[in-house]
Amino acid sequence: MKAKIRFTFISVFFIAAFSNAQEKSSSLFRKGDSWIELRHGINFDAKRMDYFNYQWAGITVPLEREVSNNYFFGLSYSEFLTNSFMLGIELNYAFQDAPRQPRGLNSVSQMGVGVNARQYFLPIQDQFSFFSNFNTGIYFFQLDDWIDTAESYFRMSLDLGVSYLPNERLQISLFMPDIVTFLDKRRNFDAAASGFNFMHNQVFKYPMIGISYRLENIKHVILQKEED
């Protein structure tokens, strides 16, 4: 009985703290505001799966390879549906490079289009806020092989991060990407297994930074003029 009471008290405490944090987030963001964000990341722990086609034997052999460079660029447009939740779309491009081997592949490029949903929580001093970022989309990648190696797959991932707002129009975010991912195919850009993956990229070896700019919301401008 005491354990149930303690559990209920703790649950109520965290719910109240979370609700209070959501109310405070209104001082950081406003419902209806639109933001554009440029994300850039370098994965120092990337791997990928190459497939070598031995025509004389009629077989294709998979080989997991270390990647020397892995760059990511993403451009997104999002709008706040509440004072703490935003929804948007993103276009991104990624590039991998690996040491060339005999009959080996060198570079891989990928394009993706997807939807991002981000929830901010625990704002600190009207300048910092933590967030969780859920993104999903379709991705297309191309190996530089002598045969047609264009591939596509579906991907979902959960990121965590923290944002800093030096002023009301600028936001700088630090991401811990790919905490949890889901992929529908084994053959994908970063050699992750199909299905769910937990931290298949080492978080601290995959820094990602986002720079966001708030666009002027026309509804706020009109309302402000009416008040004047």
Poorest-pLDDT segment among 32-36, 51-55, 140-144, 195-199? 51-55
First to last CA, the chain: 59
**What is the pLDDT at residue 14?**
42
For 174, the token pair is: 């630090």
Residues 6+ apart with CB under 8 A from 182: 155, 156, 157, 195, 196, 197
pTM of the model: 0.76
For 94, the token pair is: 């990624």
**What is the pLDDT at residue 40?**
96
Q: Which of 70, 126, 60 is nearest to 98 (CA)?
A: 70
**What is the pLDDT at residue 128?**
93
Residues 6+ apart with CB under 8 A from 129: 25, 28, 120, 121, 122, 123, 162, 163, 165
